[in-house]
Structure 1
Amino acid sequence: MEFIRRCSGFLFGMECLGCGSVSERLDPWLCPACREELLRESREYSFPGPDAMSLFPMRPLTRRLIHALKYKGLSGMASYLVRHSSAVGEGGVAQSIALLARPYYFVPVPLHSSRYRERGYNQAQRIAAALATVTGGRVCNWLARREFRVSQTKLSREEREWNVAGAFERRLPRELPRRGTVFVVDDVFTTGATTSSCISAFGRDFPLDTKVCTLLYDEPVTATMDFVADCKMEWNV
């Protein structure tokens, strides 16, 4: 009977993405226990840099959810995670954002065209759209990627900085707003090399204050483990 239940859960989408248990009370991806765990982890938001904020820590649950976003075609996971984060309501990140100058402009880290063809969407774009929805901001595609670089997750801090140096260029509108706050948006913050390169691409003459906002903060010491997991996920899709 349990085997039949698990097969039914797999076929009809009743399996929790967090713990793998079959449940008829998914919301639509997590069972009640995993949803409560996600809410607890949302209270562990962090500021990995003076101008950077991350909504969740990298934990087994959030790692599985971010992999579902990137490799299982669940683009709606971006909105799901943002709505369950401290970026909404009276959450700590929401309060920090409220102190910054409006309007808010959310600029996703651009995805290379080959990655876009694989996934069908840019996960940073979906995250930026979700953040814009809950904060009253707007999404602005003001950056472009120049060339493909190897995955950041297997590199040291110095190698990460070299890998993304000059990888982005700005694509600003003819009439750039003169006030407000720009958030460079990505899925995971590890060393900040990617988002720093994006901010550098704006140039020293960029008139707006710039911040970084990511879904997850991953301690650099776990980057190699994430790279192995990423590779496994990519080969299995």
Structure 2
Amino acid sequence: MKIALIGYGKMGKAIDAIATAKGHEVILRIDADSQHLLEKEQLGQADVAIEFTTPETAYHNVLKCFEAKVPVVCGTTGWLEKLPAVKELCSKYQGGFLHATNFSIGVNIFFEVNKKLADLMAAQPQYNVWMEEIHHTQKKDAPSGTAITLAEQLLGAVTRKTNWVNASSEQPETLSIISKRIDPAPGTHTITYTSAIDDITITHTAHSREGFAAGAVTAAEWLTGRQGVFSMRDVLNL
């Protein structure tokens, strides 16, 4: 499989190492300094693109992949307001697009656990629920995309919570997300249900970026040759 890496920071380099070890060929590496050189002709030589850049550039990078007829796996967060437009463009170009706020297999299983627990707790109003997420100091968005996914799952089930805020809140209808940026933490997400009697806590802790990078490569392998809009739930058959 020939891969175009759009975004060559720490995550891009981790993806490069894992993809190469699996026998894939990385034919294009685009970093922040060469972003302006991303051209349709270069992309067209790849079987798939993997995009990890910034909220400001992700939309345009994905569009260039569609124009080049190259399926794209996108892990950039902080630009979700443009996802509906991207999905329409994917259909227009008959492209392949897979977006995830987190590619870790463990995190995607954690998403399913979060949804199940939220369903169980929906009828237990004596419990308040809040969230904490910890990332390294270079993380550009807060809360993280993973935290937002978890929050949206919670709001969909625990209807006594109507919105989330990235701060501590005393409002009973508000889900508090506490974001901390501490090096060298690659990512920890904790959801706590608390009552006067007891607490219930679920936590996912990443030990390195390898889980995210390996999941992105797995997603790229799965997406190659497919058309449509997908998620890691499709890849993992969840």
Note whether the superposition's TM-score is higher than 0.5: no
Kindly indicate which of the two structures has a greater share of residues assigned to helix.
Answer: 1
TM-score, with length taken from structure 1: 0.32
**Higher relative CO (CA 8 A, sep ≥ 6), structure 1 or 2?**
2
Quick check: which one's strand share is greater?
2
- Tell me the TM-score normalized by structure 2: 0.31
